[in-house]
Chains A and B, each alone.
Chain A
Amino acid sequence: MGAAAKTAEPLDRFSLPDAAGHFGPYGGVFVPETLMTALEELGAAYAASKADPAFQTELRQQLRDYAGRPTPLYFAEQLTRHCGGARIYLKREDLLHTGAHKINNALGQALLARRMGKRRIIAETGAGQHGVATAAVCAKFGFECVIYMGAVDMERQALNVFRMRLMGAEVRGVEAGQKTLKEAINEAMRDWVTNVRTTHYILGTAYGAHPYPMMVRDFHRVIGLEAREQILAQEKRLPDELISCVGGGSNAIGLFFEFLEDLAVRLVGVEAGGRGIRPGEHAARFAGGRLGVLQGCKTFLLQNADGQIDQTHSVSAGLDYAAVGPEHAFYRDRGRIEFEYATDDEVLEVFRLCSRLEGIIPALESTHALAYAMKRARELGPDRVIVVNLSGRGDKDVQQVERMLKKQT
């Protein structure tokens, strides 16, 4: 099965997922029976909203006036000079209201919840960015809002906990397991199973049972649609490479989707290498994982030989997760999206470098993409163009980084 044979199949980005939510062997619907009907209803409501011009108009308006779209595509002159290679552009999702790309999806799903008549919203959050985005839209639409967050993440992203509470959300700490994103999703699923008739679950990444991976992807497609137009206007051509960090995979698929069929554009997802690729020390699913089923979907998982899910580690709470979105797994098999990882140490260094050189403090998640992009830029000539998804801003991370730097010295 050579790469040439794989790319010879025509790629139709709209052909996936199939009606049952499969991206080839990945995806699907693996949930308790109690949720099956809710997922079917959600799929139907989503399809109707997609075809409804009034819904789409309102979403576009809200993305513009509330979230702050379009976001700029910024030529990072200092980073480019520093690396001395390819031209580096940053897609500035960090400038969005609430501080990350997460608001694109939260707004879309909130409008959908309103349409379905559900006035109680639950969500999980890791870094807190999805929680903050969800809390914001719930405040705005007058929904009750409960956010599940691992106790460890509440500590390392304390600023975001306060922001959520300030906007009226109830933040419930989760003490099970390793107290991070995976456990928060388990707890949100338990809430949903219990309150499914009144509650909509705003899942925060391109993961989970169908229709979530498709729906979340679609709400983030705007990133790539804008970026494509912007780079064509600024560089008069398509970029050579697109680089995004990958937790569940929403900011990455959002940027990549419009370029999937432009086979000359290299697409790279960057996972969390943590302290190195050893069990329990990282969250690079494609470096240390294999096929499995977790939290609604079949995909690459970090697990032991017996199917128990491994612990994970990353300096960034938003990438600290044992599974990856099914669409990424599919396009990796096809050789269309490649995956790399960045370690905690590399990320900390680039976090400081980007802050100092560009006056932009990136989220630790996004810094993973940046760390690989800088490495890559050095390998490429100055005639090449790289677009990095700066998925979020790093305000939430400064206290944690300060603590870590103190420990280092």
Chain B
Amino acid sequence: MDRIAQAFARAGAQNRAAFVAYLCAGDPDFDTSLAACRTVLACGVDLLELGVPFSDPLADGLTNQLAAQRALAAGMTCARVFELVRALRSDHPDTPIVFYTYYNLVFTHGVDAYVRAARAAGVDGLLTLDLPPEEAGEVLAAGQAHDLKTVFIVAPTTPDSRIPKITAAATGFIYYVSREGVTGVRAEMAGGIPEAVTRIRAHTTLPVVVGFGISRREQVSQVARSADGVVVGSALVNCIQENLGHPARMAARLGAVASDLAAGTAR
């Protein structure tokens, strides 16, 4: 079994949903980001979704936009993101790492070369926000050739008739975005999540994770009842943003928030 499947299997065996944490690679700089990743990984995270910073993140809300800006300003590049993954791999050999990225950052290096390099660095999966399955032929072929898993999104606006096209393209897991909109913390949970997960499961045996707008333990608990995994991003990124220049406080806050959210995954 690959690392992604293993992580979901482990969580399932413990009767809980997998905890998927999003952080932006290199936010606010390489070293602090590496420390932040290690902190959350020590606090119950099952799968790390690493945002690859892009100049024009049109699917992201303000929190993640600012995180990407900080990372790019601190000199984050494609090569440095791979370096970050290699550093994490040295002490986390079993934790799956999935890139959350935009297609130009993949395409510009040549899709096959990029996927091969990502796999070699220790990346397990690729979620490309602005790449629908219709345009993903090259990524699918490269993923197959180099054993990198693909992740695709189902949205509330996705009709049933489209779901098979999406599940057929995915090899890692399916990401259900719980609301129309961009990433970011929301006070209220979107409705219809269990129904959506059921609709997706009718077409695939891959794990289904739910994300976008989930920031509190109660929300995690609620989603964990129906989904195989729960994604939290902006709530963790906020811990970085609110403690810039205070590494000890940042680590403490990140650890506390991640542990609290992780506890919410129990069914």
Contact = CB atoms under 8 A, between A and B. Distances in A.
A38 B156 CA distance: 12
B47 to A, nearest CB: 20
Interface residues of B, number: 39
A391 B135 CA distance: 34
Classify chain A: how many residues form its interface, as a range. 35 or more
Interface of A: 20, 28-38, 176-177, 182-183, 185-186, 189-190, 193-197, 291-296, 298, 301, 303, 305-309
A196 B158 CA distance: 12
Given A31-B132, A197-B157, A293 B104 contact: yes
A189 B57 CA distance: 10
Interface string B9-48: 0000000000000000000000000000000000000000
B8 interface: no
A186 B57 CA distance: 8
23 contacts: A28-B134, A28-B135, A29-B134, A30-B131, A32-B129, A32-B153, A33-B155, A36-B155, A36-B157, A37-B157, A37-B162, A177-B56, A193-B182, A196-B180, A292-B108, A293-B103, A298-B107, A303-B104, A303-B108, A307-B104, A307-B107, A307-B108, A309-B55
B104 A196 contact: no
B104 A36 contact: no
Contacts of A190: 58-59, 61, 181-182
B154 to A, nearest CB: 7
Given A293-B104, A306-B108, A186 B56 contact: yes
Contacts of A34: 153, 155-157, 177, 180-181
Nearest to B154: A33
B204 interface: no
B204 to A, nearest CB: 15
Contacts of B56: 177, 182-183, 186, 294-295, 309
A293 B182 contact: no
Contact of A30 (B132, B153, B159): B132
Contact of A293 (B59, B78, B107, B159): B107
Given A34-B180, A309-B56, 9 more contacts: A28-B135, A30-B103, A33-B153, A34-B177, A190-B61, A193-B59, A195-B180, A307-B54, A307-B104
Contacts of B134: 20, 28-29
A292 B104 contact: yes
Nearest to B175: A33
A306 B77 contact: yes
Contacts of A32: 58-59, 129-130, 153, 155
Contacts of A293: 102-104, 107, 130
Nearest to B159: A37
Contacts of B104: 292-294, 301, 303, 307, 309
B224 interface: no
B65 A306 contact: no
B109 interface: yes
Nearest to A30: B130
B136 to A, nearest CB: 10
B180 A33 contact: no
Contacts of A307: 54, 78, 104-109
Contacts of B72: 308
B55 A308 contact: yes
B166 interface: yes
B107 A292 contact: yes
B210 to A, nearest CB: 14
- Chain B CB within 10 A, most for which of A37, A296, A307: A307
B100 interface: no
Contacts of B99: none
A198 to B, nearest CB: 10
The 9 closest A-B pairs by CB, nearest first: A307-B108, A194-B181, A34-B155, A33-B153, A308-B55, A186-B58, A189-B58, A307-B105, A33-B155
